[in-house]
Amino acid sequence: MVNRGLELLKKGDVRSICEGAMLLRKVGGQEAIEALLPHLRSRVEQVRDCVREALDRMDVAPVLMGWWHGADAEKRRQALEYAVGLSHPGLLVLYQEAAQSRDAVQRKQAAIGLKRQGRSAEVYRLLAALVADDDRDVRWWAIDSLGVLGGTEAVRVLRERQPAEQDPALKKFIEKALR
């Protein structure tokens, strides 16, 4: 079944990729996960959606966490890039570490990806830190994620940040997110 799933992915058309993703989801394992991950970059939304659905039902966290904690800088970058598109709860540790990175790009990706992790005290805690980040882009994405997540905790975080925000465009973005 793995070989059939891999063959379908190689065909490149939407139907085959989605069928291959569903086959590989049933099989699971690192080989299947690693074959599916690059398809998260597809220009075709339907492909990204069916691959995301398959990966969200697989144990993708150990693979991405292995890449994230590895020595290969490109694999680390890819781990975070792929994690942003997924809602697997096992990826929260990756977001915690990325949110504390010195690299603003990693913090920004953490802010983007946290909106897929659902409402939890830890997600809101991380976004509260990111919404006060020194980097404007990081703050923008944290505001966006809080707006998408919503809920009373998101409103509290945004209201606390609003008076301290110095960027007029971000102040307006906070107002919009609070609506």
Domain that holds residue 39: 1-58
CA-nearest of 138, 127, 74, 140 to 102 is: 138
Residue 132 in contact with residue 140, Cβ under 8 Å? no
pLDDT band at 2 (very low <50, low <70, confident <90, very high): confident
Biggest CA–CA distance in the chain, Å, is: 57
CA-nearest of 38, 104, 30 to 60 is: 30
Domain harbouring 52, CATH code: 1.25.10
Instruction: Tell me if 91 is assigned to some domain.
Output: no
Residue 122 in contact with residue 92, Cβ under 8 Å? yes
Instruction: Tell me if 107 is assigned to some domain.
Output: no
Instruction: Tell me if 145 is assigned to some domain.
Output: no
Instruction: Tell me if 151 is assigned to some domain.
Output: no
Instruction: Tell me if 128 is assigned to some domain.
Output: no
pLDDT tens digits, one per residue of 104-139: 999 999 999 999 998 999 999 999 999 999 999 999
pLDDT band at 25 (very low <50, low <70, confident <90, very high): very high
Instruction: Tell me if 134 is assigned to some domain.
Output: no
Instruction: Tell me if 24 is assigned to some domain.
Output: yes
Instruction: Tell me if 78 is assigned to some domain.
Output: no
Distance CA 61, CA 101 (A): 19
In the prediction, which pLDDT does 1 show? Answer: 77
pLDDT tens digits, one per residue of 76-87: 999 999 999 898
The stretch 1-9 carries a mean pLDDT of 86
Dihedral sign computed on CA atoms, order 61, 63, 65, 67: negative
pTM above 0.95, yes or no: no
* Number of structural domains in the chain: 1
CA-nearest of 106, 113, 108, 166 to 137 is: 108
In the prediction, which pLDDT does 179 show? Answer: 86
Q: What is the average pLDDT score of the chain? A: 94
In the prediction, which pLDDT does 137 show? Answer: 98
Residue type for 146, please? Answer: L
pLDDT tens digits, one per residue of 143-161: 999 999 999 999 999 999 9
